[in-house]
A = this chain, B = another copy of it.
Amino acid sequence: MAKPTVGVDLGGTKVLAAVVDGRDVGESTKRPTPTDGPEAVVSAIAEMVEELGGAHRLGVGTPGYVDDDGVVGGVPNLQGWDPPVPLRAMLREATGVAHLAVDNDVNAAALGEVAHGAAEGHHDVLCVFMGTGVGGGLVLSGELRRGPRGLAGEIGHLVVRHGGRACACGGNGHVEAYAGRAGMEAEARRRHAAGEETALVDIAGDDRMKSSVFDKALKKGDRVAEELMEEAVVAVGTAIASAVMLVDVDLVVVGGGVADKLGPELVARVGAESSGLLGEALAVPVVPAALGDDAGVVGAALLGERA
């Protein structure tokens, strides 16, 4: 039997590899992301591909900016990485797979949503993923927009409030500062430290304030949680409106852990905000992502299919 296509979703905490056929995710394997640098990650991926019986084609989605040669730059959440890292070349050497592609993880997920998910059949699409941070992928005229430096789609770092809340990247007023789980947690803890009562801290304690914590606090009617969520909705809606004016898309997909957990209601609020800003004539539909946790490996496999 011919070897299959394998998609790999390389994340900050885990690596997921799966045999993928179009939308269908078959056999898969998962392990914690090695924390001792890119060589260890490359070895782990090679072993996982082997476990799955090898690959004829291999696609990998990774955090960071990725250039046309598969070199990774700027990866804040992979420990022990000192960019630039020539990930594609290293993976080719370790796996021997000839049809091999590496791209940004969010770009891969966006490709997945356009090919097999919520944006199937659309050619001009912005995908926004709300998780720990806020990432995006842009498909223009049917092609993933990468840009000369592989930067394109970084909607989390659009400025929506000049001089506004500090972002983890060092900037100010970025979407991610208001709408990323980490930025929202930081703001909740600041407000709590300043004396405000909030169920967010009561529920999370000293642990990471997961999406489920926001969900529970919102269901209790917690005021701080609601205010943070409203700021997140405004930030993402504003960025979507700006993106539509700049590149003109006809569909926006919103996914990621936070959006998946808080559900279609959150996505509807984001859509209402962006439509209000764009006005009736220019508004575009904003819909929930359809692939959920599969988007990463399905999109990565697509990269491999095209390599």
B-contacting residues of A (Cβ < 8 Å)? 74, 123-124, 136, 138, 140, 145-155, 157-162, 169-171, 234-235, 238, 241-250, 277, 279, 281-282
Contact = CB atoms under 8 A, between A and B. Distances in A.
Nearest to A284: B149
A243 B246 contact: yes
Contacts of A249: 147-148
30 contacts: A74-B281, A138-B247, A140-B145, A140-B147, A147-B247, A147-B248, A147-B249, A148-B248, A148-B249, A148-B250, A149-B250, A150-B248, A151-B244, A151-B248, A154-B245, A155-B245, A157-B242, A157-B245, A159-B238, A159-B242, A160-B162, A162-B234, A162-B235, A169-B279, A170-B279, A171-B277, A242-B242, A242-B246, A246-B246, A246-B247
Given A158-B242, A170-B279, A234-B162, A248 B123 contact: no
A146 B124 CA distance: 11
A117 to B, nearest CB: 19
A201 to B, nearest CB: 27
A149 B157 CA distance: 25
Given A152-B248, A171-B277, A248-B149, A162 B238 contact: yes
Contacts of A235: 162
Contacts of A158: 242, 245-246
Contacts of A247: 138, 145, 147, 152, 246-247
A238 B163 CA distance: 10
A279 B151 CA distance: 14
Contacts of A162: 160-161, 234-235, 238
| Across the A-B interface, the 6 shortest Cβ-Cβ residue pairs | A147-B248, A151-B248, A152-B248, A158-B242, A154-B245, A157-B245
A83 to B, nearest CB: 10
Contact of A248 (B146, B161, B234, B277): B146
A74 B159 CA distance: 27
Of listed A242, A277, A281, residue having the most chain B CB within 10 A: A242
Contacts of A152: 246-248
Nearest to A276: B171
Contacts of A279: 169-171
Nearest to A273: B162
A237 to B, nearest CB: 9
Contact of A159 (B145, B151, B154, B241): B241
A234 B249 CA distance: 26
